Chains A and B, each alone.
Chain A
Amino acid sequence: MSKPSISIGLNIFIATMGIVSVILLLTSLVFLAVFSRTIDDVVVTQSREINKQIVMNFEGYINSVIETANYIQFASFDMDTETDAEALAELYRTNSDMKKDVVAVFLFDAAGRTLVGPTLDFTLADSVAALPWFSLARDLKEIFHFSSTGESSIAGGRDEGVISVSKSIEYTRNGITSDGVLLIELNNESITDLARKTNLGEGGHLLILDDRDALLYSSEPPQGTMTAASYALARSLYLGGTRASIERVDMYLYVNTLLHTRWRIVTVSNVDEINGAMRRISGILVAIFAVAVAVSAAVAGIISLQVSRPVTQLRKVMRRIEEGDFSMPVDVSGQKEIVLLSHSFSSMVQKIQELMARLVAEQREKRKTELRALQNQINPHFLYNTLDSIVWLAENQRTGDVITTVVALARLFRISISKGENFITVQDEVSHVRNYLTIQTIRYQDKFTYELELQPDMSEMKVMKLILQPLVENAIQHGVGDDDGHITITGTIEGDFMVFRVSNTGYGIPDSKIEEMYETMRGGTEHPSVGMRNVYQRLKLYYGEQADITISSVQDESTTMTIFIPVDGREGRQP
């Protein structure tokens, strides 16, 4: 389960934002869906109502036509076409004149001869019976037939387009009752006028189809693409409504029937403003969404900061402590849990500090012990050599020298012991070396000379004891050969360091040898020159990294070993 780690703050932020976004998104979507459905319902209902209203207008008109026909039929019931010809003609004429939409009213006999009505257009005089409305009325006698063939009126001198309303009726001629056909011609404008009065919105239009699905009327240009599109839709729909996009405008198309006529009326209303409303609502929702997300982002950000900041603070402190800096106080403010955690952490740090202090103290004790052991190594080594030379002096009866040597040895040991102090004044250290040199001069029978030079103001400074003697011992070993050697010991203060130089004349030491010596000092290979190593190790133990010993050599001339000891060192703090 190892995942790329995410910070607490980010986690809280993501979780909060996730939940907020999901809830908002769902709410918005559900709202939008419900809203759009409601809007759709409203659109459908509205469009249907409009359609129904239009249909009612048309049906009202159709009913009035039928009433006219019925009236003519009943009023002429007991009129004879021969004997009452004039009264009948008057009745027919009145009815066609009374209504401006009625072009003409005719009564034909079964063969299509005019019984009542205006003069026929001469081209039609013999062929009325062949006209579609005539045969329809003859075929089905009970009902009214509405036909619109786009033809003009059959009345002479009238050439406007008409709708022919025909019905089979009974008439009496010379006392004989027989079936004839009543024809009422309606001006096309009657329909057009009704259609024009309807308001179906921009691009909205109205079509009328006959029972054979032929287009009778369109309020748009009949050849236009709009008419073609809604005509095709209406034909496939038969009845009822549907939403459709016509000419890239959202329309609601509704097909209904027209009473008695077997015609169908198609209303196409513009419902595009619904899309506008939808767009507006969507815009508002998006805005609400954006604001809500922004607000919750801010809140989530603040909360996550409040939680994560103390944690980050704590982490910073921890990192400092990791790096070994215990100086920074663990003081974190913020949430209760984090404060408690920081308190716990603080007390833990304290414990660690205590533990570390104890560890340091223990280490120090251990070092001291170690140091003593190292210091103690010097004495037997040197003592052996000195006693050896004293024996040698005594054998040669050099009593004076024996005395000098023994006195120097005694002094040397006194300084060595120094009441158990590890640190002595530079003066004492130098005199310790002087005593040593006294002893060695006698031993080596003046084969070398030496000089000791000490910067006066450092004589009272404290320095770790017994550091110069091993170097001098080394210088004597290398610098005292067949020729008279010379050893120079200087003590100076250079910057922050006490610098002690021990130079000896001689062949010098090759670089490879110097490397070897460094190696030995650092505790690598075991080597006879135990003293050098002791000094180096002790210096490092007490003074740390700053203290150092360097070796330099000039071929066939001299070798110089230099001790650097920091002035402020540990001398003050050292017991």
Chain B
Amino acid sequence: MKRIGLLVLAVLLAFSVASVSANGAKEGGQIVIGANIYSFADNFMNGVMKPEFERYATTLGAKLEMVDSEGQQAKLNDQIDVFITKKVSVLAINLVDPAAAKAVIAKAKAAGIPLILFNKEPTEAGAMASYDKVWYVGTNSAESGIIQGQMMVSDWKANPKWDLNGDGVVQYVLLKGEPGHPDAEARTKESVKAFVDAGIKVQQLALEADPNWSTQHGNDKMAAWLTSSFGKSIELVICNNDGMAFGAINALKAAGVKLPLYGVDALDQALTHIADGEMNGTVLNDGVNQARATLDLAVRAAMGKPVTEGTTWKLSTDGTKAVRVAYLPVTPKNYQDFRKK
């Protein structure tokens, strides 16, 4: 008897040791969302989307595990691996490198975990089709560029004084953002195209790509341009996001120069800059609704339901399996509407 008792004790002990490590995800059947932000250093991602993610996840009753990929796809790959090992219910991934989409999708597919990609769309054709449980939430990359372009064109036409040398050609500099990022590429192309389409000639004085879309980089680059040979010729500053625009504004203020400047994202700070007359317009990249759409899809995917069931989101019908959140122009006339309620 005594010996059996000891044996039982030993077995129990061994089990208790083993079980300590075994309590992974899905506590009490709760949906666990493994999510990332490609970089917490990104003003838009960290200031708009992340808070809404956290707030809305609580509303939905899901557990959100959000990590910072620090702008390294290698880091994100590692984080995805950890999420999968922890058996999260669903992945909400903000790719660092859009080119890595296929590998990430294949990984999720192998693990059988639904995957919602958001904000950075896979560049590769066919990637989305390779897995039935992957969806994308984002914007129409081109749309932001088009809206920004239209704003700039109408302002340019309304302000003849902006043509400093009076040659009828827009001499602009452009802070592009991450090369290869569909938004960066599309915005660059569409914003300039708006001038061309309106019959206004453009001349690009400089274009700077920054993989991190960072304020610091925007500041450094703008400062360099202002002191360069073409510094005096700059008539327009196009920024593909507000973060870089803030940097540019800083550099302009430091140099005591006032130039028309446009951004994208409509961050709170951007509205302030518009109010202060330091910024001429931005485009609302509706981060709040992107975050909501991402979580709505994620929770439904985790439950195995149709992802847009009971929501107002519409899946695109062009095979990209995307929910696209619309952009809105923000100008000195209407910026008040976008102030935090």
Using a CB–CB cutoff of 8 Å, the interface residues on chain A facing chain B are 18, 22, 25-26, 29-30, 33-34, 37, 48, 51-52, 55-56, 59, 63, 66, 70, 74, 77-78, 139-140, 142-144, 211, 236-241, 255-257, 259-262, 264
A257 in contact with B73 given A18-B6, A52-B78, A74-B207 (CB within 8 Å): yes
Q: How far is the CA of A29 from the CA of B96 in the complex (A)?
A: 43
A256-B74 in contact (CB<8A): yes
Residues of A within 8 A of B9 (CB): 22
Q: How far is the CA of A22 from the CA of B7 in the complex (A)?
A: 9
Q: B180 to chain A: closest CB distance in Å? A: 5
Residues of A within 8 A of B254 (CB): none
A240 in contact with B81 given A22-B10, A142-B185, A261-B99 (CB within 8 Å): yes
Question: B165 contacts the other chain (Cβ, under 8 Å)?
Answer: no
Could you tell me how many residues of chain B have their Cβ less than 8 Å away from some Cβ of chain A?
43
Q: State which residues 55-112 of B face A: CB under 8 Å.
A: 72-75, 77-78, 80-81, 84-85, 96-100, 102-104, 106-107, 110
Q: How far is the CA of A109 from the CA of B97 in the complex (A)?
A: 28
A78, A140, A237, A259, most chain B CB atoms within 10 A? A259
Question: B4 contacts the other chain (Cβ, under 8 Å)?
Answer: no
Q: How far is the CA of A18 from the CA of B74 in the complex (A)?
A: 52
B102-A211 in contact (CB<8A): yes
Across the interface, B103 reaches (CB within 8 A) one of A25, A66, A238, A241, namely A238
Across the interface, A257 reaches (CB within 8 A) one of B21, B85, B97, B185, namely B97
Other than the given A29-B14, A143-B98, A241-B81, 8 more pairs (CB < 8 A) read A26-B10, A26-B14, A51-B74, A142-B180, A142-B182, A239-B107, A256-B78, A257-B74
B14-A143 in contact (CB<8A): no
Residues of B within 8 A of A26 (CB): 10, 13-14
Residues of B within 8 A of A260 (CB): 97, 99, 180
Residues of A within 8 A of B207 (CB): 74
Identity of the chain B residue whose Cβ is nearest the Cβ of A261 in the assembled complex: B99
Residues of A within 8 A of B211 (CB): 63
Residues of A within 8 A of B85 (CB): 240
Identity of the chain A residue whose Cβ is nearest the Cβ of B209 in the assembled complex: A70
Q: A201 to chain B: closest CB distance in Å? A: 20
Using a CB–CB cutoff of 8 Å, the interface residues on chain B facing chain A are 3, 6, 9-10, 13-14, 17, 21, 72-75, 77-78, 80-81, 84-85, 96-100, 102-104, 106-107, 110, 123-125, 179-180, 182, 185-186, 203-204, 206-207, 209, 211
B74-A59 in contact (CB<8A): yes
Across the interface, B104 reaches (CB within 8 A) one of A33, A78, A239, namely A239
Q: B320 to chain A: closest CB distance in Å? A: 14
Q: How far is the CA of A29 from the CA of B10 in the complex (A)?
A: 10
Q: A259 to chain B: closest CB distance in Å? A: 5
Residues of A within 8 A of B10 (CB): 22, 25-26
Identity of the chain B residue whose Cβ is nearest the Cβ of A211 in the assembled complex: B102
Residues of B within 8 A of A30 (CB): 13, 17
Q: A165 to chain B: closest CB distance in Å? A: 12
Across the interface, A259 reaches (CB within 8 A) one of B21, B73, B124, B203, namely B73
Residues of A within 8 A of B107 (CB): 237-240
Q: A176 to chain B: closest CB distance in Å? A: 14
B74-A56 in contact (CB<8A): yes
Identity of the chain A residue whose Cβ is nearest the Cβ of B183 in the assembled complex: A142
Q: How far is the CA of A63 from the CA of B73 in the complex (A)?
A: 13
Residues of A within 8 A of B102 (CB): 211, 262
Q: How far is the CA of A237 from the CA of B111 in the complex (A)?
A: 10
Residues of B within 8 A of A74 (CB): 206-207
B81-A142 in contact (CB<8A): no
Q: How far is the CA of A78 from the CA of B202 in the complex (A)?
A: 12
Q: How far is the CA of A51 from the CA of B203 in the complex (A)?
A: 44
B81-A239 in contact (CB<8A): yes
Identity of the chain B residue whose Cβ is nearest the Cβ of A29 in the assembled complex: B14
Q: How far is the CA of A139 from the CA of B123 in the complex (A)?
A: 11
Q: How far is the CA of A142 from the CA of B6 in the complex (A)?
A: 69
Q: How far is the CA of A487 from the CA of B95 in the complex (A)?
A: 141
Residues of A within 8 A of B81 (CB): 239-241
Q: B30 to chain A: closest CB distance in Å? A: 24
Q: How far is the CA of A52 from the CA of B69 in the complex (A)?
A: 12
Residues of B within 8 A of A48 (CB): 78
A239 in contact with B103 given A22-B6, A70-B209, A142-B123 (CB within 8 Å): yes
Could you list 20 A-B pairs, sorted by A, with CB under 8 Å? Answer: A18-B3, A26-B13, A37-B21, A56-B74, A59-B73, A66-B179, A139-B125, A140-B124, A140-B125, A143-B99, A143-B180, A144-B180, A237-B110, A238-B106, A238-B107, A239-B107, A241-B78, A257-B97, A257-B100, A262-B100
Q: How far is the CA of A374 from the CA of B78 in the complex (A)?
A: 116
A240 in contact with B99 given A66-B179, A142-B185 (CB within 8 Å): no
Q: How far is the CA of A257 from the CA of B95 in the complex (A)?
A: 11
Nearest 6 CB-CB pairings of A with B: A240-B81, A257-B100, A142-B185, A239-B107, A238-B107, A55-B74
